[in-house]
Structure 1
């Protein structure tokens, strides 16, 4: 028993020594930042609860605007020029944009979003504690918690006297969960911010684990395969003048995609919807359609829709060329055509992104929160930060509030992570300014 006690004491001393050693690298200004976040944590949680309790499903334009109306005054208190940009041109509510041009340090673009996947008809509407440190609520982690992390980090920088001369733009989109079209308009605020910025920091919750962050995200591009065949009685299929029919051709194309493209690293391509028969209608806006066809008739039409997810523009371009070549080798008496739609660009794992992660990880370790590693891009979906990839020197995402079960009625947020994530983000921004 005595030996076990001595071992426990030694382990505790090592832990205390490690934490003390880490904190030795934290400056007096950074200590002020951390202290302010600790002291104002209850206020931050109260604001989080308030915005979670406002339904802001993407298509609830009034609700999205209401969340912005709560947050805009908070940015104005910090000296930002904050506004709401109307989204009627792309059939969405719009975006919150806040700007501070202090003239010192790199230009930082901070990215959040106001909308959730939970529309007014969802049964999931309210913030609710399920333990001392865990709460449920629509969008609590994805990503209203991240929006509050942004505010908390900026408040702490102001309290330390460091915010006033920084260059920061905040863009909180109103259509991250269901993007408006065309993307050139719905993502214009983000792209304009990226063109202005040197560094982009996204506050999505990533994979929900504060020990990870995203320095790469695969892009997502929609595709549609349209197939035409010769309609005829089924007894005539495969004859020279009838050929294989539209459904066989669609099956050939999909099977060849499956067999020939699977070896591409970090690539996925998925057919999400297929329709075929004599008569086919397709409503891409509503992701629906109708088919009519009899078993004894060779199918005249087939339509398949899906997406491609790749890690770089080069990979996506290469795969698109392969897909078009596969489609061109059509079966007898059939015609196939590929169409590629709008989508999210990839965020490639550049050296700049890796360097930014290294800085962030050092901050985390010195604050006593441990090392941060990159998320496997196979485990990361597309996100707004990807629209910055062509313009900024560095980008990172996943710095928001940790949680679980996003996009479900069991979505939960870790309340303590609201402050720990704000501390890491605020000190990161302070060091980017100072170095």
Structure 2
């Protein structure tokens, strides 16, 4: 390590006592798939115990009500777990936001439930990188900051939501409230195995388009029916033609129908959009409105559109560029080469950036093959990335800004 002050060296030295690997192993053995309410509650309890070493107030925040469209076309409430929130020194002159998620993509009945060391430095297991490892990294970094005389200069909020893997619909409002007045934010999605960070991100939108037709006998009086599946397929084909260099469109599934001798009266089209800019969101929304109106008229069906663009695109604006450069400089002083590149993935960093707060959203440990049974964590990177976070935060505290 070079170019570190005594204060910075002393803070980083405390990381040697941080039980990050033990925490990852403990937390990863809890199945906290987004829809596993018992697992989410157990994970929230573990986080409450672990983060209690920090000053401030811990709350478990009720999720914002969210609805979803079922395979029968009805709209119903969707259960979510509570979100973890910690506020520390809200009156300090410098305010930051730290975010992560306690949920994983592995449901309670998923066969991937065990931890395995692939070698001395590589741990395979559900959520070890995404993001039980990130949560342990965040906590260790904040403990290091609290051990520093600079701690009094900085206040912060920590939000660890229970629904990031399904789009953060029940926590977006909480994230927006927590982002107010913050000079910067760090989110603990995993870095790539070589340490590369995510830079600019596209946005995303998910829609369920419900088509109500009219049933009829497929042989005796088919013309009296209105085929909802044909209409849904027409919508899918028309929307797929809207795609372009700045907009990916993926009609993913059509549900509905029944016996071969009945004209189907109900169909639900599930479709995902990936816009690269706000302009592409506007273009996509206009296309949805136009296509739905056209198909409704041509097929004589009723159509209801459920959903929206839940993750805005995240460009590298001047504020984000300054934060990235600060992280890069901190990395250089720790002997780490930090780089970043654009990605098609989305996360809560998108929503934070939309609030006007600079964010680096891959401050977690190095890992890979996430969302699969091959997910792995590079164990040595826990301390490495905790040091990177701690040094970044201390320098923001010292400067009072980016």
- So what's the TM-score if we normalise by structure 2? 0.84
The alpha carbon displacement at 1:194 in A equals 1.5
Q: Contact between 1:219 and 1:386, CA under 8 Å: does it hold in 2?
A: no
The aligned residue for residue 10 of structure 1 is none
CA distance in structure 2 between the aligned counterparts of 1:394 and 1:88, rounded to whole angstroms = 25
CA distance in structure 2 between the aligned counterparts of 1:120 and 1:327, rounded to whole angstroms = 37
The aligned residue for residue 361 of structure 1 is 328
The alpha carbon displacement at 1:203 in A equals 0.5
* Helix, strand or coil at the partner of 1:292: coil
The aligned residue for residue 196 of structure 2 is 211
Q: Contact between 2:208 and 2:270, CA under 8 Å: does it hold in 1?
A: yes
Q: Deviations over 1:81-133 (max 9, x none)?
A: 22323449662221111111164443111001112223333333333322110
The aligned residue for residue 3 of structure 2 is 25
The aligned residue for residue 386 of structure 1 is 350
The aligned residue for residue 257 of structure 1 is 239
Q: Contact between 2:311 and 2:347, CA under 8 Å: does it hold in 1?
A: no
Q: Deviations over 1:336-369 (max 9, x none)?
A: 6361414522142133222211221222122211
CA distance in structure 2 between the aligned counterparts of 1:300 and 1:103, rounded to whole angstroms = 58
Kindly tell me: are residues 215 and 157 of structure 1, through their superposed partners in 2, closer, same or farther at Cα, counting changes over 3 Å?
Answer: farther
* Helix, strand or coil at the partner of 2:150: coil
The aligned residue for residue 36 of structure 1 is 14
The aligned residue for residue 415 of structure 1 is 379
Kindly tell me: are residues 87 and 231 of structure 1, through their superposed partners in 2, closer, same or farther at Cα, counting changes over 3 Å?
Answer: same
More displaced 10-residue stretch of structure 1: 417-426 or 320-329: 320-329
The alpha carbon displacement at 1:30 in A equals 2.2
CA distance in structure 2 between the aligned counterparts of 1:82 and 1:347, rounded to whole angstroms = 31
Highest CA radius of gyration, 1 or 2? Answer: 1
Q: Contact between 1:140 and 1:412, CA under 8 Å: does it hold in 2?
A: yes
The alpha carbon displacement at 1:242 in A equals 6.9
1:395 to 341, 359, 366: 359
- The runs of 5 or more residues in structure 1 that have no matched partner are 1-22, 281-289
Q: How does 1:17-166 map to 2 (within 5 A)?
A: 23-37=1-15, 39-41=16-18, 43-87=19-63, 91-101=79-89, 103-166=91-154
- So what's the TM-score if we normalise by structure 1? 0.78
* Helix, strand or coil at the partner of 2:164: coil
CA distance in structure 2 between the aligned counterparts of 1:81 and 1:62, rounded to whole angstroms = 24
Q: How does 1:134-283 map to 2 (within 5 A)?
A: 134-178=122-166, 183=169, 185-205=170-190, 207-224=192-209, 226=211, 228=213, 246-259=228-241, 261-265=242-246, 267-275=247-255, 280=256
Kindly tell me: are residues 291 and 396 of structure 1, through their superposed partners in 2, closer, same or farther at Cα, counting changes over 3 Å?
Answer: farther
Kindly tell me: are residues 62 and 161 of structure 1, through their superposed partners in 2, closer, same or farther at Cα, counting changes over 3 Å?
Answer: farther
* Helix, strand or coil at the partner of 1:93: coil
The alpha carbon displacement at 1:145 in A equals 0.4
Q: Contact between 2:191 and 2:367, CA under 8 Å: does it hold in 1?
A: no
The aligned residue for residue 311 of structure 2 is 345
* Helix, strand or coil at the partner of 1:428: helix
1:307 aligns with 2:272: yes
1:292 aligns with 2:259: yes
Q: Contact between 2:226 and 2:265, CA under 8 Å: does it hold in 1?
A: no
CA distance in structure 2 between the aligned counterparts of 1:62 and 1:244, rounded to whole angstroms = 43
- The runs of 5 or more residues in structure 2 that have no matched partner are 67-78
Q: Tell me how large the CA RMSD over aligned residues is.
A: 2.9
Kindly tell me: are residues 104 and 247 of structure 1, through their superposed partners in 2, closer, same or farther at Cα, counting changes over 3 Å?
Answer: closer
